[in-house]
Structure 1
Amino acid sequence: MAELTLLEAVNLALHHEMDRDPNVIVLGEDIGDNGGVFRATVGLKEKYGCKRVIDTPLAEALIGGVTVGMASQGLRPVAEFQFQGFVFPAMEHLACHAARMRNRTRGRLTCPAVFRAPFGGGIHAPEHHSESVEALFAHTPGISVVIPSSPKRAYGLLLAAIRSNDPVMFFEPKRIYRTVKSEVEDNGEALPLNICYALRKGRDITLVTWGACVVESLQAATELSRLGIELEVIDAATVKPLDMATIYKSLEKTGRLLVVHEASQTCGIGAEILARTAEHAMCLLKAPPKRVTGMDTVMPYYRNEDYFMIQEEDITIAAKELMEGWK
């Protein structure tokens, strides 16, 4: 079994599905000859040819529209946007067509398309290259939103996304593209698109996170364990639909909820998790829930990027505050 990076796991999943299903088409800017801006599609054009691996113009609206058209006619396109911040020109196609295809045609047509995009900060990128706007798509009915945080989950979740008969936004945390490694077996086994994953067991606090923030969350959990505070760390993985049942089950043990995400705080996925917990599981809480999030500002340029990014210390402080006075 090979040890892969998250980026390599994405590439492996694309190879597997293109081998398995001739209807899988990959398209995007520079994804053919160059293998994509981060090299996620390396080797695909050489193996499958220019009819299945399509270099598009620098036109995200075109990518969105062509992908919806392909999906409505029986293909399974996987479109790559170079960065999540470049998706906005394609929003009309995503929200008005991809998301509504099944409803508009009363099930006669579906839109089995995957829209991939690297997202998040931490690599000193310029403007529009560091957004974390997963909540925009989670708010759009008809679209699933998937965010892997490990190579194994990237492989299994991308397989499931490609096989889904409805559109999936597949956001890859580029900050950990090459820094997180794990063993990945190319067995073709897809992972469910509707469950959370408990990465660490704990008795005191349920910490829910996703994407690159999983790294700092696990580091904080290890540090807090030395102080006698045990965090149960849950990777949401699919933020739409949310697997709240797993979170509630954890809260039955811990009674305390901490949500960590890089995206801005207002109307983020964390707000949704806290709201659902307040509505359906308030009786499980021993203390008011807390959030550690990005700021309600545009991601700053690289000199000030660290002020925006969540650090291990931010999570540790929030966890201690959650424990103090509510024992």
Structure 2
Amino acid sequence: MPSGREISYREAVREAMVQVMRGDDNVFLIGEDVGVYGGAFGVSRGMIEEFGPNRVVDAPLSEAATAGMCVGAALLGMRPIFEIQFSDFITHCMDQLVNQAAKLRYMFGGEARVPLVVRTPGGAGTGAAAQHSQSLEAWFVHVPGLKVVMPSTPYDAKGLLLAALDDPNPVIFYEHKLLYNRKGEVPEELYRLPLGEAAVSREGDDVTIVSCGLVHHFALEAAQELSGEGIEAEVIDLRTLSPMDHATVRRSVEKTGRLVVVEEDVKTCGWGAEVISRLTESETFYALDRAPARVAGEDTPIPYNKTLEAFVRPSPEKITRAVHSLLDARVGVYG
């Protein structure tokens, strides 16, 4: 839906929240420093001036307490947006999100709903070291009752956040720190993108590259480089990790016969393993002419040193090498 208007990823997220809050008094934003300060990454800047401190709420320094309050508010008909400053701090909320929010609708036979959106910046690349740089999204993909969204573009960020805010279930909404300044075309009007529907960002016949979030741009960079060598990669942006669009991946692999999955979280038990497992458990397995490859984070805490940090993260160069390994008929996965 081209609009000709370019705004940043940060502005797209803010615009989605503002437009919904203008139309629904039950929606409110809460989190540490979201009010006067405007959020740790400036996403909510200016919102307290429009909506006041009762709807843009500076929370106390307790993610656990705020998460519990949000679950209670959602059960009573409110639609809270909880911003967690760094996705690493979501570890303080595990009982409230995993044991309460994710399960209450099921336990009450559908009579209780928890329309809660947890927004949180994740990922590495800022030199923020081991406790402020993790990618923990695979944890929540594992939990029935939670939806997990990870937009890669400003357009998707607005459309998916608006869809998440309409959803009667709890949604974990990951925003990569390095995407906030990235710009793209975003319509000013309200629009929604369905959760659980992947996008084919680039068409190709030689290999399928599946990615999500920041590393989706790495996949596109690698595909452009490979195109110069005569290798045409099809690039898929999952956009949501739960529910996950396995059908789009299968259709692409049935065309290309080769698969590379790119994820920023660590390789062991990462969500990329689920992509590959679902594919190999299906009839699409017989379309593969090579073992799938994974390009993922190394199984280590994120280093502070910039050179080491870059070494443990995925990159366009690692993706290119993984594709070459498939086309060179070397069986195995790339680490």
Return the TM-score normalized by structure 1.
Answer: 0.98
**Match of residue 221 from structure 1:** 223
User: Which residue does the alignment assign to 2:310?
Assistant: 306
CA RMSD of aligned residues (A): 1.2
Counterpart residue identity of residue 52, structure 2 = G
Conservation of the 8 A alpha-carbon contact between 2:37 and 2:45: yes
1:26 to 6, 14, 29: 29
* Dislocated runs of 4+, deviation >4 Å: none
Does residue 85 of structure 2 align to residue 91 of structure 1? no
- Please tell me whether the aligned partners of residues 32 and 54 of structure 1 are also in contact (alpha carbons under 8 angstroms): yes
1:315 to 315, 319, 323: 319
**1:53 shift after superposition:** 0.9
Q: How many pairs align?
A: 326
**Structure 1 residue 325 and structure 2 residue 308: aligned?**
no
TM-aligned CA deviation for residue 126 of structure 1? 3.2
CA distance in 2, matches of 1:39, 1:68: 25
The gaps in structure 1 that reach 5 residues or longer are none
Equivalent residue, structure 2, for 1:130: 133
How far does residue 249 in structure 1 lie from its aligned partner after superposition? 0.9
Q: Is the Cα–Cα contact under 8 Å of residues 125 and 302 in structure 1 kept in the other structure?
A: no
2:143 corresponds to 1:140:
yes
TM-superposed deviation, 1:68: 0.3
Mapped pair 1:286 → 2:289: yes
Whether the 8 Å CA contact 1:101–1:110 is kept in 2: the answer is: yes
- Is the Cα–Cα contact under 8 Å of residues 207 and 260 in structure 1 kept in the other structure? yes
Q: Distance in 2 between matches of 1:314 and 1:277?
A: 23
Match for 1:61 among 61, 64, 67? 64
Q: 1:301 offset after TM fit, Å?
A: 1.2
Letter in 1 for 2:274: E
- Bigger CA drift: 298-307 or 100-109? 298-307
Query: What TM-score does the superposition give when structure 2 sets the normalisation length?
Result: 0.95
* Contact 2:123–2:176 (8 Å) recurs in 1: yes
Partner of 2:107: 104
Once the two structures are TM-superposed, the CA of residue 37 in structure 1 deviates from its matched residue by 0.3
Give the counterpart letter for 2:135 in structure 1.
S
Deviations for 1:164-212, whole angstroms, at most 9, x for unmatched residues?
A: 000000000111211x211111211110001101100000101000011
User: Matched residue of 2:281: which SS?
Assistant: helix
AA paired with 1:322? L
* CA displacement at 1:324 relative to structure 2: 1.2
1:258, 1:290 within 8 Å by CA — same for their partners in 2? yes
Q: What SS does structure 1 have at the residue aligned with 2:220?
A: helix
Q: Distance in 2 between matches of 1:106 and 1:149?
A: 35
For structure 2, the residue ranges without an aligned partner over 5 or more in a row are 331-335
Match of 1:202 in 2: 204
SS in 2 for 1:87: helix
1:254 shift after superposition: 0.4
Distance in 2, Cα, partners of 1:62 & 1:41: 21
